[in-house]
């Protein structure tokens, strides 16, 4: 009864909240309270009789004999978008009318095989339920995503992220087309929340390739130029990929372990680390609109044989390339040396990025997660498809939106708060339009498409500006699979989402940009709800006689860089040797082994906390650099508003791994190897930095402390 009363109290408090960020929705007499569990409530209402029948015969997964109906009788936190009998009848009718038609008549008996019918059962059931696990509440209306077109933080049981859209007062749709009944919603059961939907939630597996192919066949303007460029460059096969079927089959056969017990002796987390169930592919496309191309004198509807040479001429005439680039302008568009191929692939990231995850905000300096108020500028650095090049995705309080390759003038003084002061017209970058009326956010299973308001290219100005700033990237930025499989920064405290085990390379190379030996146990710690003083609060760890090799992002220009690695020494860590080079088979050691078992205060590096004398603080920074380390970044805090800043912690340092000339046309790797004969010591991974000499050794404008 304590659990039921807690749910009732939560509901009553929710009624009192003002839903300020959405359209004003009438919340009077909204909540329905019941002492039933989800399943018993549905069974008592004849409007759901067909849904109930299907719930009772649909298994939870291939590896489980239990049904979803049985699951909904158990303790938990389930959000159920329950379709009525009428909604299911209309669903069957749509299956009859589609091309090719799955049914000859709107009846379950009309399926040609039980296997096909059962697969449709799963589509209907698994897409209708979000399981929030043991630690997160189910979603009532007031805890839905606040911004229209945004996805729910957690996937449904079919591993799809549903979106919510608001269309006028009290009109709420799931995935844009499935309306929630205006009265039969927010039904609070003992183990979840029920919302009646008037249309079955059944998102189609429309790939980016199929979506673009439909644009081409209909000659539909919007992204027609980009669609023709992608097709000409031979990228359609790549953009048609949804999942790694080899991994899928190995997981289902049990050849990949479902979990691994990584931590013992009561260390956090005290439990199993769960392996990803899938290895999905994804993409993000940023594109100029056809309206832009018409303004440039190009006709998007012109045949490709006419349009594409004109597009290449435009790229050349407007210098949308770097003078250091090697390229050709012939009609062999599928060649990586072709200018059109290089220009097109720079618009594509090898992972799917929802609108609310283009730039992460979690625990940066001054950030209030409860109000989602932006403070200091934040950015992500990713490697694009095709030739490896950097793309910067930027957002600040002053920018009023997200931009690609924006390079503003920042307030960097040591005693001031980092902010955007101004932005020169030639450094504004490309505004990313996230409005669901224009961006394609939820219609494609493996891709999001975002319109941009200016041409995007890796030209000399972009490369020069990148080469004049410190380039910080989270360790998870290296792994597209982390985004595609909803692993990174998942807003869930459930054990399966908090602690994700990545199999050793011999079992399966899950993260393509990482190789590890058989003795390595590698886990991603989501840290949702924890106040860890890491960039975005999350971290990665390895345990055992670890040896890991990472493929690093490219540098923008040939110059001298420092490569830095954020370390957090404590008694759980090990002693590790860094290696750095462009040949992963024979990398030279970078310095001597780094002992992370000792606290920083016991290291002879000269660390002292900042005081009131800034001149002396600067001297301490110089002393640390002379010993090959730096204080942590002021950007990173334990929980944003507490003032618990990484720079002020004696437990955090940035270790300078190498200082050498790096080439943008080379791929660099870092290897980390344990030098201890121990199964229990850890490797820790958070963020890394490239810092050009122009920044770290600038006498007029010293490197900032952020």
Rounded CA-CA distance 247/256 in Å is 8
With respect to residue 89, please indicate whether it lies within any of the assigned structural domains. Answer: yes
Rounded CA-CA distance 138/358 in Å is 25
Supply 41's token pair. 């409530």
Tell whether 33 and 95 lie within a shared domain: yes
Tell whether 43 and 112 lie within a shared domain: yes
CATH value at residue 62: 2.30.180.10
Q: What is the predicted pLDDT for the residue at 569?
A: 87
Q: What is the predicted pLDDT for the residue at 271?
A: 59
CA 152, 155, 158, 159 torsion-angle sign? positive
Residue that terminates a domain, selected from 165, 197, 229: 197
Domain ranges, residue 381: 357-432+455-466
CA distances for 319 relative to 325, 329, 667, angstroms: 11, 13, 26
With respect to residue 449, please indicate whether it lies within any of the assigned structural domains. Answer: no
CB 279 within 8 A of CB 243: yes
Tell whether 221 and 159 lie within a shared domain: no
With respect to residue 446, please indicate whether it lies within any of the assigned structural domains. Answer: no
Rounded CA-CA distance 277/61 in Å is 11
With respect to residue 509, please indicate whether it lies within any of the assigned structural domains. Answer: yes
Residue that terminates a domain, selected from 151, 176, 197: 197
Residue that terminates a domain, selected from 300, 319, 348: 348
Please count the residues of the chain.
Answer: 706
Q: What is the predicted pLDDT for the residue at 679?
A: 83
528-554 burial: b if 16+ Cβ within 10 Å, else e: bebebbbbbbbbbbbbbbbbbbbbbbb
CB 269 within 8 A of CB 471: no
Threshold 0.85, pTM exceeds: yes
SS3 annotation, 373-428: ECCCCEEEEEECCCCCCEEEEEEECCCCEEEECCCCEEECCCCCCCEEEECCHHHC
Tell whether 286 and 229 lie within a shared domain: yes
Tell whether 660 and 521 lie within a shared domain: yes
With respect to residue 437, please indicate whether it lies within any of the assigned structural domains. Answer: no
CATH value at residue 520: 2.60.120
Tell whether 188 and 235 lie within a shared domain: no
Any bridge partners for residue 474, and if so which?
Answer: 687
Q: What is the predicted pLDDT for the residue at 266?
A: 42
Tell whether 227 and 302 lie within a shared domain: yes
Q: What is the predicted pLDDT for the residue at 45?
A: 97
Domains in the chain: how many in total?
4
Tell whether 527 and 587 lie within a shared domain: yes
Q: Nearest 5°: phi and psi at 48?
A: -110, 15
Q: Taking the chain (706 residues) in consecutive chunks of 10 residues, what is each chunk's mean pLDDT?
A: 37 35 39 87 98 97 86 96 98 90 91 93 97 91 92 93 90 95 96 98 95 97 98 98 96 89 51 87 98 98 98 98 96 97 98 96 87 89 98 97 98 94 98 95 95 98 98 98 96 87 95 95 91 93 93 98 94 93 96 88 85 95 95 90 84 95 98 91 94 96 96
Q: What is the predicted pLDDT for the residue at 64?
A: 75
Supply 478's token pair. 């290296």
Residue with tokens 């994804």: 282
């Amino acid at each position: 009864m304590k659990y039921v009363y807690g749910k009732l109290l939560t509901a009553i408090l929710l009624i009192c909240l003002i839903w300020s960020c959405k359209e004003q929705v009438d919340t009077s007499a909204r909540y329905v309270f019941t002492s039933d569990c989800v399943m018993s409530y549905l069974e008592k209402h004849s409007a759901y009789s067909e849904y109930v029948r299907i719930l009772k015969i649909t298994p939870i997964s291939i590896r489980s004999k239990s049904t979803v109906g049985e699951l909904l009788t158990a303790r938990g936190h389930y959000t159920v978008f329950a379709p009525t009998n009428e909604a299911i009848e209309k669903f069957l009718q749509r299956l009859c009318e589609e091309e090719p038609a799955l049914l000859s008549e709107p009846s379950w008996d009309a399926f040609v095989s039980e296997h096909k019918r059962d697969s449709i059962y799963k589509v209907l059931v698994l897409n209708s339920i979000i399981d929030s696990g043991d630690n997160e509440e189910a979603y009532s209306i007031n805890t839905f995503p606040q911004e229209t077109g945004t996805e729910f933080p957690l996937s449904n049981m079919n591993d799809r992220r549903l979106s919510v859209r608001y269309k006028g007062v009290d009109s709420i749709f799931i995935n844009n087309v499935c309306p929630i009944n205006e009265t039969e919603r927010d039904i609070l059961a003992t183990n979840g929340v029920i919302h009646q939907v008037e249309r079955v939630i059944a998102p189609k597996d429309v790939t980016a390739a199929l979506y673009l192919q439909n644009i081409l066949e209909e000659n539909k303007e919007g992204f027609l130029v980009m669609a023709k460029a992608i097709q000409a460059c031979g990228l359609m096969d790549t953009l048609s990929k949804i999942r790694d079927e080899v991994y899928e089959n190995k997981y289902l056969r049990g050849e990949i372990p479902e979990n691994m017990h990584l931590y013992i002796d009561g260390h956090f987390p005290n439990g199993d680390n769960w392996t990803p169930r899938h290895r999905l592919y994804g993409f993000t496309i940023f594109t100029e609109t056809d309206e832009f191309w018409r303004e440039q004198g190009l006709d998007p509807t012109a045949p490709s044989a006419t349009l594409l040479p004109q597009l290449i001429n435009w790229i050349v005439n407007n210098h949308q390339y770097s003078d250091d680039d090697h390229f050709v302008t012939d009609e062999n568009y599928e060649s990586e040396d072709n200018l059109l191929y290089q220009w097109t692939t720079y618009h594509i990231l090898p992972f799917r990025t929802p609108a609310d995850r283009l730039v992460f905000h979690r625990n940066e300096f001054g950030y209030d997660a409860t109000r989602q108020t932006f403070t200091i500028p934040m950015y992500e650095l990713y490697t694009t498809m095709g030739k490896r090049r950097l793309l910067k995705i930027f957002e600040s309080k002053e920018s009023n939106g997200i931009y690609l390759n924006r390079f503003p003038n920042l307030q960097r003084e040591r005693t001031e708060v980092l902010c955007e002061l101004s932005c020169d017209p030639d450094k504004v970058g490309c505004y990313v339009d996230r409005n669901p009326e224009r961006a394609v956010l939820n219609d494609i299973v493996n891709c999001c498409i975002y319109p941009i308001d200016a041409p995007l290219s890796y030209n000399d100005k972009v490369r020069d500006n990148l080469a004049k700033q410190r380039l910080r990237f989270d360790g998870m930025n290296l792994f597209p699979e982390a985004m595609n499989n909803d692993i990174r920064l998942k807003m869930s405290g459930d054990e399966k989402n908090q602690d994700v085990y990545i199999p050793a390379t011999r079992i399966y190379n899950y993260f393509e940009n990482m190789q590890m030996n058989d003795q390595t146990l590698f886990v991603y710690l989501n840290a949702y709800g924890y106040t860890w003083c890491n960039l975005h609060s999350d971290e990665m760890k390895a345990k055992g006689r670890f040896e890991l090799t990472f493929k690093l992002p490219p540098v923008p220009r040939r110059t001298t860089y420092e490569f830095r690695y954020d370390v957090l020494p404590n008694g759980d860590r090990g002693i590790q040797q860094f290696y750095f080079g462009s040949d992963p088979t024979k990398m030279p050691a970078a310095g001597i082994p780094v002992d992370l078992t000792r606290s920083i205060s016991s290291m002879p590096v000269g660390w002292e906390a900042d005081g009131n004398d800034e001149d002396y603080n600067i001297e301490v920074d110089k002393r640390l650099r002379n010993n090959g380390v730096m204080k942590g970044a002021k950007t990173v805090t334990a929980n944003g508003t507490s003032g618990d800043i990484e720079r002020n912690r004696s437990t955090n340092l940035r270790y300078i791994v190498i200082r050498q000339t790096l080439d943008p046309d080379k791929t660099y790797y870092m290897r980390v190897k344990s030098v201890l004969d121990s199964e229990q010591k850890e490797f820790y991974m958070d963020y890394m930095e490239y810092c050009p000499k122009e920044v770290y050794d600038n006498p007029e404008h010293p490197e900032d402390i952020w």
